């Protein structure tokens, strides 16, 4: 498939390179089999040419991977040179099979060229299956060494000889000899877990990598003209840590080791060795470093617990499974899930089973590991989803009367969180995407305006927090760093809550990490630590003064710089680990990077007590622990693949002549107005786009698009989103969860593979063919009806209603110039049914009230799915736009609205003014 994606491929074409490598292997295999077939029937062996060509194309890439490695490739070279077509084809088949199914990681025979092992084929016992007791996790370690190429094989042998029988894991060395090659290996080889750098290595690769070269000189200020710049080892370590912070990096140097170890710039290095130190020390450190990530304190302990003979006298009948296994009636439940589920069920907080409410043992350790993995100071596990994580943050950091600036489209847990805490929402609007009946994200200008208005009104001190969804359901990603920096320029102690329910995986993509809350918090801190920050601030003071004048129109037009001495970095991020990583449903975390967290320690503990169950589910906690382990060890590779899968779908839909007639996937150009793409970035698939332009867009643009979220327009195929979703589910077993009037949202994630692309494309093709056939058979009238249907879905779209305003009766200070409201008082006012009334949506009475008043005041939240945000909140004045939108909504599921009774309102007489 995607062959045009691979043609003219360069090593540094980073998006989709690992898929491209496997494609190239498949391609070479096909050529080798053809050559062997020719040879078998005694034809002249012209096929050798094309095999040689394919091999030459692959060879530079192969230097970054341990398997098949130089030795097997040598054997292959020999066979081709001997015109042994059958032997070469057999070896290529074996190698490419081993690569595709990963068997080289546990089957030593795969590394041997001997023919007899080829008979086994690729379908041997996979790891962890019965009989493979000797299976050990496999990874690769990168050695960056200035040793001459002729010594490489010998060095690899020496490294392998360090292996001991009781090593818990096994690794293969990958040797490279330059800074550029080390970076390419880091990017391309997802199996790497550790990097050993010898100081004094040269910079340039012998391969051609022009993009990388300009990246190094422009972004990393690495002088590529000097062969081995000073401290090149340390520089390389920092660059690698920037790409993949989870890797363990070791530096071998003959400089003063003690001095280096104390250098703050060396904090990315796990250990510095004096070059002549024992190789065994290095070996043991490599294993120990990976083991540290592999350890899952809570899960490991749960396994031990399940294996112990224990009698329980606590109130949890299913613990140990006896009530199930011995039952006459519910045994199948036990058989379905397996005994371990019940052996691991416990309400104990002894025997190493930590308390979720006040963790001090294994759960605490597991949380600390998660915090390190995501770059936070603290992580709290939550077993009731991010719905609860969000409410906990409101509970812990806001109090009645505080103002929270919040995107009205954010998840309902935020609105309810404010009802609970008494914080008052000041709703800000995202830019609308009316054609697709969805919202984008909130422009920074709107947020700055809100803060400046509050400042002008003398209410800035009331503002506690800004809440935004990053990324949005549809994939809009904020420039988290810039939003925070500019807001802090206006209010230096503002707290940020970034709802990253969908975005947890982004931590493991070097492209997306900087746009996560935690990634941006780190970047802000780094900026502040640089003396340059103070200069930037002083330059701004020279122009705008120290105390910004909220009426100064220039403030909206320019990038504002915070005062490095006054600003506080106070960032909260919530992730539904279950939405983008391998956690059981409801597994969620709150990640905290708040310099003033000490103010909230007890409030946070209270928030846990208020919201967390006293019977937390041990399996969900274990799955959080395990999800972290997975991401720290293979997250990079999996996320890269998820992005590749998404890009492949975009490409296939776009280029297929029939599918593209009826369907399209919206690119960044359609999802983000041009004014927010200052870098000039158009879309991932635009000709001439490469990762450097994408990286620039990711760094600078106000919004960018998460490539893994694909808005597939189906209105042009005559389907509204809901109908299309149901069609996919009922006829093709494809599940998805978000729709709009004329689109559905497809997502790729870490469980997708490229065969998923193929099956999706097949389905879209089938549907397109059906439409073609129907149109052909239905005559002129049928075609006109189809065109009318498409027009209705694509053009006749309702305007999206903006938030109107809170009724003055639900505003603490009706004279205030800023629009925040006391939603909590309206919410509880509606508890008295006598004070409420209902007006049917299509009644004349409702029209009359809209025209003549008194104003309609919503008694509760009304949330249609889709789009899934509240079009009415308690205390809000319901205006004509909102009613118009509701009347035109063609969805069945509207939470908070009872069609039989009508819209629930607070009676005018009940509103105290």
Residues that bind ligand PLP (CB under 6 A): 385-387, 411, 413, 469, 473, 499, 501-502, 576, 588
Q: Which two tokens stand for residue 898?
A: 């009872």
Strands 664-665 and 709-713, bridge-based pairing? antiparallel
Q: Which helix (H) or strand (E) holds 251?
A: strand 248-253
Minimum CB–partner distance for residue 499 and ligand PLP (Å): 5
Q: Which helix (H) or strand (E) holds 269?
A: none
CB of 179 closer than 8 Å to CB of 154: no
CA 675 from chain center: how many Å? 25
Both ends of the chain: CA-CA distance in Å? 67
Minimum CB–partner distance for residue 502 and ligand PLP (Å): 6
Minimum CB–partner distance for residue 433 and ligand PLP (Å): 17
Please give the Cα distance from 875 to 350 (Å, whole number). 48
Minimum CB–partner distance for residue 415 and ligand PLP (Å): 11
Query: 496-528 burial by CB neighbour count: b if 16+ within 10 A, else e?
Result: bbbbbbbbbbbbbbbbbbbbbbbbbbbbbeebb
Query: Which residues have CB under 8 Å from 479's CB, separation 6+?
Result: 444, 515, 700, 701, 702, 703, 704
Q: Check whether the bond before 866 is cis (ω within 30° of 0).
A: yes
Minimum CB–partner distance for residue 473 and ligand PLP (Å): 6
**Cβ atoms within 10 Å of 779's Cβ, excluding its own:** 10
Minimum CB–partner distance for residue 394 and ligand PLP (Å): 13
Q: Which is nearer to ligand PLP, 64 or 416 (CB)?
A: 416
Minimum CB–partner distance for residue 582 and ligand PLP (Å): 15
DSSP one-letter string for 107-147: -GGGG---GGGGGG-S-PPPTTSTT-TT---EEEEEEE--S
Q: Which is nearer to ligand PLP, 413 or 479 (CB)?
A: 413
Q: Which is nearer to ligand PLP, 479 or 588 (CB)?
A: 588
CB of 583 closer than 8 Å to CB of 589: no
Q: Which is nearer to ligand PLP, 240 or 441 (CB)?
A: 441
Q: Which is nearer to ligand PLP, 138 or 473 (CB)?
A: 473
Q: Which is nearer to ligand PLP, 176 or 393 (CB)?
A: 393
Minimum CB–partner distance for residue 386 and ligand PLP (Å): 3
Minimum CB–partner distance for residue 755 and ligand PLP (Å): 27
Please give the Cα distance from 102 to 91 (Å, whole number). 16
Q: Point out the residue whose Cβ comes nearest to ligand PLP.
A: 385
What is the CA angle 35-36-42, rounded to 5? 95
Q: Which is nearer to ligand PLP, 103 or 413 (CB)?
A: 413
What is the CA angle 443-447-452, rounded to 5? 140
Q: Which is nearer to ligand PLP, 17 or 586 (CB)?
A: 586
Q: Which is nearer to ligand PLP, 191 or 709 (CB)?
A: 709
Please classify residue 700 by burial: count the beta carbons closer than 10 Å to its beta carbon, then call 0-12 exposed, 13-18 middle and 19+ buried: middle
Q: Which is nearer to ligand PLP, 413 or 424 (CB)?
A: 413
Q: Which is nearer to ligand PLP, 322 or 585 (CB)?
A: 585
Q: Which is nearer to ligand PLP, 297 or 385 (CB)?
A: 385
Strands 570-576 and 248-253, bridge-based pairing? unpaired
CB of 468 closer than 8 Å to CB of 443: no
Q: What does DSSP assign to residue 150? A: G
Minimum CB–partner distance for residue 690 and ligand PLP (Å): 31
Q: Which helix (H) or strand (E) holds 501?
A: none
φ, ψ (nearest 5 deg) of residue 168: -75, -15
φ, ψ (nearest 5 deg) of residue 892: -90, -30
Minimum CB–partner distance for residue 90 and ligand PLP (Å): 50
Query: Which residues have CB under 8 Å from 181's CB, separation 6+?
Result: 63, 64, 144, 205, 207
Q: Which is nearer to ligand PLP, 482 or 611 (CB)?
A: 611
Q: State the number of CA atoms in the 13 A half-sphere of 190 facing the CB.
A: 22
Minimum CB–partner distance for residue 588 and ligand PLP (Å): 5
Minimum CB–partner distance for residue 103 and ligand PLP (Å): 37
């Amino acid at each position: 498939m995607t062959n045009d994606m691979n043609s003219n491929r360069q090593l540094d074409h980073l998006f989709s390179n690992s898929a491209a490598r496997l494609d190239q292997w498949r391609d070479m295999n096909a050529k080798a089999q053809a050559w062997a077939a020719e040879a078998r029937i005694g034809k002249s062996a012209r096929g050798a040419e094309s095999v040689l060509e394919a091999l030459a194309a692959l060879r530079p890439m192969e230097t970054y991977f341990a398997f098949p490695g130089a030795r097997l490739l040598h054997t292959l070279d020999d066979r081709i040179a001997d015109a042994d077509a059958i032997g070469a084809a057999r070896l290529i088949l074996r190698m490419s099979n081993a690569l595709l199914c990963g068997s080289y990681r546990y089957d030593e025979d795969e590394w041997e060229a001997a023919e007899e092992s080829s008979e086994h084929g690729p379908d041997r016992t996979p790891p962890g299956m019965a009989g493979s007791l000797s299976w050990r996790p496999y990874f690769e370690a990168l050695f960056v060494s200035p040793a001459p190429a002729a010594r490489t094989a010998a060095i690899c042998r020496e490294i392998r000889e360090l292996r001991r029988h009781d090593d818990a894991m096994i690794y293969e060395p990958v040797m490279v000899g330059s800074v550029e090659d080390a970076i390419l290996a880091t990017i391309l080889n997802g199996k790497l877990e550790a990097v050993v750098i010898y100081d004094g290595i040269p910079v340039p690769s012998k391969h051609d990598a022009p993009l990388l070269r300009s990246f190094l000189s422009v972004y990393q200020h690495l002088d590529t003209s000097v062969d081995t710049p000073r401290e090149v080892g340390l520089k390389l370590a920092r660059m690698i840590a920037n790409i993949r912070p989870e890797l363990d990096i070791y530096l071998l140097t003959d400089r003063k080791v003690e001095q280096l170890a104390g250098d703050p710039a060396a904090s990315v290095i796990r250990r510095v060795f004096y070059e002549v130190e024992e190789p065994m020390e290095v070996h043991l450190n490599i294993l120990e470093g990976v083991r540290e990530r592999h350890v899952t304190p809570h899960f490991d302990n749960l396994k031990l617990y399940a294996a112990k003979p224990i009698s329980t006298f606590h109130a949890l009948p299913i613990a140990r499974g006896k009530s199930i296994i011995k039952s006459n009636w519910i045994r199948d439940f036990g058989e379905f899930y397996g005994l371990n589920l019940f052996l691991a069920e416990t309400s104990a907080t002894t025997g190493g089973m930590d308390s979720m409410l006040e963790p001090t043992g294994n759960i605490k350790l597991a949380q600390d590991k998660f915090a390190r993995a995501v770059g936070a100071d603290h992580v709290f596990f939550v077993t009731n989803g991010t719905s609860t994580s969000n409410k906990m943050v409101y509970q812990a950091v806001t109090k009645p009367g505080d103002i929270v600036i919040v995107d009205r489209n954010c998840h309902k847990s935020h609105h309810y969180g404010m009802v609970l805490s008494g914080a008052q929402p000041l709703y800000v609007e995202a830019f609308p995407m009316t054609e697709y009946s969805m919202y984008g994200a909130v422009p920074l200008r709107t947020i700055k305006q809100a803060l400046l208005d509050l400042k002008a009104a003398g209410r800035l001190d009331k503002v506690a927090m800004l809440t935004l969804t990053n990324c949005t359901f549809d994939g809009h990603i904020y420039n988290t760093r810039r939003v925070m920096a500019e807001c802090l320029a206006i209010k230096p102690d503002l707290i940020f809550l970034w709802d990253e329910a969908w975005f947890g995986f982004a931590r493991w993509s070097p492209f997306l990490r900087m746009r996560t809350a935690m990634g941006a918090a780190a970047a802000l801190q780094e900026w502040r630590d640089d003396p340059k920050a103070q200069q930037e601030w002083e330059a701004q003071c020279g122009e705008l003064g120290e105390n910004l004048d909220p009426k100064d129109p220039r403030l909206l037009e320019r990038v504002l710089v915070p005062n490095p001495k006054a600003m506080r970095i106070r960032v909260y991020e919530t992730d539904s680990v279950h939405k983008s990583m391998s956690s059981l449903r409801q597994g969620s975390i709150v990640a905290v990077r708040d310099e003033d967290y000490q103010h909230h320690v007890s409030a946070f503990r209270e928030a846990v007590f208020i919201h967390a169950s006293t019977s937390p589910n041990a399996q969900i906690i274990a799955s959080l622990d395990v999800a972290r382990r997975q991401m720290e060890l293979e997250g990079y590779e999996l996320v890269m693949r998820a992005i590749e899968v998404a890009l492949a779908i975009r490409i296939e839909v776009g280029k297929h002549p029939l599918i593209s007639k009826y369907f399209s996937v919206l690119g960044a150009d359609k999802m983000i107005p041009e004014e927010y793409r200052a870098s000039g970035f158009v879309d991932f698939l635009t000709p001439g786009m490469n990762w450097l332009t994408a990286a620039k867009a990711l760094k600078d643009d106000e919004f960018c698009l998460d490539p893994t979220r694909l808005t597939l327009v189906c209105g042009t195929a005559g389907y509204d989103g809901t109908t299309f979703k149901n069609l996919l589910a009922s006829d093709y077993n494809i599940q998805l969860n978000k729709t709009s009037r004329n689109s559905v949202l497809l997502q790729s994630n870490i469980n997708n593979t490229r065969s998923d692309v193929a099956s999706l494309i097949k389905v879209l093709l089938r549907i397109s063919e059906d439409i073609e056939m129907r149109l052909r058979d239905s005559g002129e009238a049928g075609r006109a009806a189809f065109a009318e249907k498409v027009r209705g879905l694509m053009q006749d779209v309702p305007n999206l209603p903006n938030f109107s305003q809170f009724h003055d009766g639900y505003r603490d200070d009706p004279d205030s110039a800023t629009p925040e409201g006391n939603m909590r008082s309206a919410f509880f006012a509606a508890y008295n049914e006598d004070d409420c009334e209902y007006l049917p949506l299509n009644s004349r009475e409702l029209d009359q009230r809209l025209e003549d008043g008194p104003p309609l005041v919503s008694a509760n939240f009304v949330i249609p799915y889709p789009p899934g945000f509240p079009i009415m909140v308690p205390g809000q004045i319901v205006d004509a736009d909102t009613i118009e939108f509701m009347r035109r909504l063609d969805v069945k599921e509207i939470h908070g609205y009872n069609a039989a009774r009508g819209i629930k309102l607070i009676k005018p007489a009940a509103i105290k003014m």
